[in-house]
């Protein structure tokens, strides 16, 4: 086989269950060895030197010291490469790699601040926002930002802050049957609300004294739950909806940079961030 294949080969006869188990373990040991990152390799080498500082300053011959260090480094790197049986079992059983008493949601907070600042500052002074391109059922591409989900949230949740929204909301796509039923129910209906994009005013069909001002009380009592449609200005109004669940509130994991501080840095930016997070808004002028 070596002559025919012209390469290294390791051929053996597997005539017993013991031999088969041994070869499976042998192959698995090689397959599950991941490549180490450069910083991991250097960190391991440094730890070996730190642990053997007394030996380096001892009276052994230089050749013996070098041999001992190389042996320790190779053994340490081998241990770093191997995946232990608990980790292998975890992947095979589909268990999580960590356990917490809370559930978290990734929250890219800066895009919301950018949306608010667009109204108050020149475009050149505001960092540009990133959008996701989605292809709808009509083969049209729609630019979508997560900010739209909050701006065009259901007007039952008008008084909900962004922080609360992140904790309990989730955008879901309607099934074909749900889309057809939703369009039939809303065909010919008047648009419930409009959020103006002008710098001068914000137009809404409801005010703070409306029945929806009680949404915070309903939220605390768990009455606002289930699926709600977005406002009609939302790019995915016809195909998607928002699911509200207060049974297990998520903890926002702020991603995209450190939050501004009140005791240092730009005070105006700090205040803008806090208002954006904890005061309900649909348009920058609301703040």
- 33-42, 104-113, 209-218: which range is least confident on average? 209-218
Is residue 175 domain-resident? Answer: yes
- Full domain range(s) for residue 133: 104-286
Of 63, 93, 123, the last residue of a domain is 93
218 in the same domain as 89: no
Q: What is the pLDDT of residues 28-51, one digit of tens each?
A: 877 777 778 888 889 999 999 888
Together in a domain, 109 and 41: no
Question: For residues 52 and 64, what is the distance between their CA atoms, to the nearest angstrom?
Answer: 13
Q: Do 257 and 227 belong together in one domain?
A: yes
The mean pLDDT value for 157-186 works out to 87
Same domain as 250, residue 127: yes
Model pLDDT, residue 125: 67
Residue 82 has pLDDT above 60, yes or no: yes
129-147 confidence digits (pLDDT tens) = 666 666 666 666 666 678 8
Does 178 share its domain with 122?
yes
The answer to the question of residue 228 being in a domain is yes
Please indicate, yes or no, if residue 277 is contained in any of the structural domains.
Answer: yes
Whether 147 and 63 share a structural domain: no
Do 20 and 81 lie in one domain? The reply is yes
pLDDT at residue 268, rounded to an integer:
92
Backbone angles phi, psi at 228, to 5 degrees: -135, 145
Output the pLDDT for position 30. 75
Statement to judge: residues 172 and 235 lie in one domain: yes
Per-residue pLDDT at 203 exceeds 50:
no
Tell whether 168 and 268 lie within a shared domain. yes
Maximum alpha-carbon separation in the chain:
93
What is residue 176's predicted lDDT score, i.e. its pLDDT? 85
Is residue 109 included in any domain, yes or no? yes
Residue 11 tokens, joined: 């051929």
- The total number of structural domains that make up the chain: 2
Same domain for 113 and 223, yes or no, is yes
Residue 280 and residue 195 share a domain? yes
Query: 146, 201 in Cβ contact below 8 A?
Result: no
Prediction pTM value: 0.57
- 215: in domain: yes
Instruction: In whole angstroms, give the CA distance from residue 140 to residue 134.
Output: 8
Dihedral pair phi/psi, residue 248, rounded to 5°: -140, 90
Query: Of 73, 93, 113, which one is at a domain's C-terminal end?
Result: 93
9 domain residue, yes or no: no
In a domain? residue 1: no
pLDDT in tens, 18-28: 989 988 888 88
Residue 4 lies inside a defined structural domain of this protein: no
Pick from 145, 147, 142: nearest CA to 284: 147
- Domain end, chosen from 68, 93, 118, is at 93
């Amino acid at each position: 086989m070596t002559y025919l294949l012209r390469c290294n080969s390791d051929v053996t006869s597997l005539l017993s269950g013991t031999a088969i188990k041994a070869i499976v373990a042998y192959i698995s040991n090689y397959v599950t060895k991941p490549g180490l990152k450069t910083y991991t390799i250097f960190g391991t080498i440094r730890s070996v030197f730190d642990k053997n500082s007394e030996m380096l300053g001892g009276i052994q011959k230089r050749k013996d010291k070098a041999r001992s260090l190389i042996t320790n480094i190779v053994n340490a790197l081998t241990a770093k490469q191997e995946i232990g049986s608990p980790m292998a079992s975890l992947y095979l059983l589909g268990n999580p790699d960590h356990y917490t008493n809370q559930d978290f949601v990734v929250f890219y907070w800066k895009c919301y601040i950018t949306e608010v600042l667009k109204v108050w500052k020149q475009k050149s002074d505001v960092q540009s926002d990133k959008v996701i391109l989605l292809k709808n059922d009509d083969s049209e591409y729609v630019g979508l930002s997560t900010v739209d989900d909050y701006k065009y949230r259901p007007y039952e949740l008008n008084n909900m802050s962004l922080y609360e929204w992140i904790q309990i909301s989730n955008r879901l796509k309607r099934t074909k049957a749900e889309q057809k039923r939703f369009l039939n129910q809303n065909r010919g209906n008047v648009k419930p609300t409009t959020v103006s994009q002008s710098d001068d005013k914000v137009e809404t069909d409801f005010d703070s004294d409306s029945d929806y001002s009680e949404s915070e009380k309903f939220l605390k009592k768990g009455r606002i739950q289930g699926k709600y449609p977005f406002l009609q200005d939302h790019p995915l109004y016809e195909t998607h909806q928002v699911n509200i669940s207060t049974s297990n509130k998520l903890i926002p994991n702020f991603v995209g940079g450190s939050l501004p501080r009140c005791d240092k840095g730009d005070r105006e930016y700090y205040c803008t961030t806090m208002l954006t997070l904890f005061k309900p808004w649909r348009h920058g002028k609301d703040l």
